[in-house]
Amino acid sequence: MIEILVCGLMLVYYLIVYTAFGSLITSRWKKEHFSLTMTVMIGFFLFYGLFQVIAVPCTFLRLPLTWLCGIWMTVAAAVVIYAAVTCRGLWLEAGRAVWRQFRREPFWTLVPLLAVAAQTVFVVMWQTDYWDATYYIGDVSLSVYTNTISLYDPLTGDIRSVFDIRHCFATYLMQDAVVCKTFGIHPLIETKTIMGAVITVLNNVVVYNIARLFFKGNRERTGLMLVFALLVNLFTYTSYTASSFLLLRTYEGKAVLGSVIIPAVIYVAARLYQDYKNTALWWLLFLLCQSSCAISSSAMMVVPVEVGALILGLAVWKRDIRPLGKALLCMLPCLVIMALYVASAVGLLTIYV
């Protein structure tokens, strides 16, 4: 019962923080109506993108985890307070809009919420143990209990002799360690239960934004899309689909890549197909590329391929090569990290602990 309460409170905590981070961007979009779901989605990526910028130097400087906790929690608190002061009007208006929508269409307001709740309960109850869990949960646990930042090998328990470049930039797990250290939450609860629920909600937020775009805001069709997506995930979770990661390995970086990052890139690309001269959308695509590497090391290869394919189609359709140059700039964070990883893998780059 206590675990369920902690999971619920931390889910609220993450959604508030994501909303605050996202509001820094969406509150300044003059040509677009403020949207809570869009704000949460953008806030999620800005949250992890900024965390990477702070965590990576702390890692290479071998600072204690408590230092990273102090720095990051100060930044997060400052962002929440600033957003609460400057964006409270937008938040209140968005809340009133949801209430008006509920009174006007109670059924189609509740359907998406019930679909998300059902999927979240399924994920929290049916998390399974895969071989990767040893690494992921072990990395968080060792960092918390040794007060270090990913300096120990989770598979052996020995301190590393050199930095693992591939995982140094994927700071998603270290954010879990920061939360565990700050709030005194057990790593198993944070990773498998809390983050399982958080990523499930984020997946549905992204799907909701895609459905709202494709169905031009139609509430009924958007709600049915969420229900359909839930059914597809429930009946296609094999080892060959992203659904298995979403439902059974939700807390892993690959699950976030397949269920949140890749669909979010598709959403931004669809927006670019509508208005590829919108500078804000290109900056958003850059943010997705940069933050994706902070969440999953696999993103450094998968995301550039996805962005390249989508924007190549845009360039051909519009008969304009300029989007290709912008796409290359957006992919730079992924390409730089991939180059560093390849250099470390072939022995050209070695950073000793």
Overall average pLDDT of the 50-74 stretch: 95
Say what the pLDDT of residue 174 is.
94
Rg of the chain over Cα atoms, rounded to whole angstroms, equals 20
- Residue 167's nearest CA partner among 195, 193, 200, 143 is 143
Overall average pLDDT of the 225-253 stretch: 82
Helix, strand, or coil (residue 350): coil
Q: How many residues make up the chain in this entry?
A: 353
- Residue 262's nearest CA partner among 243, 279, 234, 280 is 243
Instruction: Kindly report, residue by residue over 2-30, the tens digit of the pLDDT.
Output: 777 888 899 999 999 999 999 999 988 87
Say what the pLDDT of residue 224 is.
86
- For the entire predicted model, the pTM comes to 0.94
Instruction: Kindly report, residue by residue over 181-205, the tens digit of the pLDDT.
Output: 999 999 988 988 899 899 999 999 9
Overall average pLDDT of the 273-282 stretch: 92
Confirm if 121 and 230 have CB atoms less than 8 A apart.
no
* CB neighbourhood size of 218 (10 A): 14
Helix, strand, or coil (residue 165): helix
Euclidean distance between CA atoms 77 and 55, whole angstroms? 17
Euclidean distance between CA atoms 52 and 194, whole angstroms? 20
Euclidean distance between CA atoms 251 and 189, whole angstroms? 11
The answer, yes or no, to whether residue 63 has pLDDT greater than 70, is: yes
Instruction: Kindly report, residue by residue over 303-328, the tens digit of the pLDDT.
Output: 999 999 999 999 999 999 999 999 99
Confirm if 192 and 137 have CB atoms less than 8 A apart.
yes
Percentage of residues of the chain with pLDDT beyond 90 = 56
Of 243-252, 254-263, 333-342, which gets the smallest average pLDDT?
243-252
- Residue 171's nearest CA partner among 77, 256, 266, 249 is 256
Instruction: Kindly report, residue by residue over 90-147, the tens digit of the pLDDT.
Output: 898 888 888 888 888 888 788 888 888 888 888 887 766 666 778 888 899 999 999 9
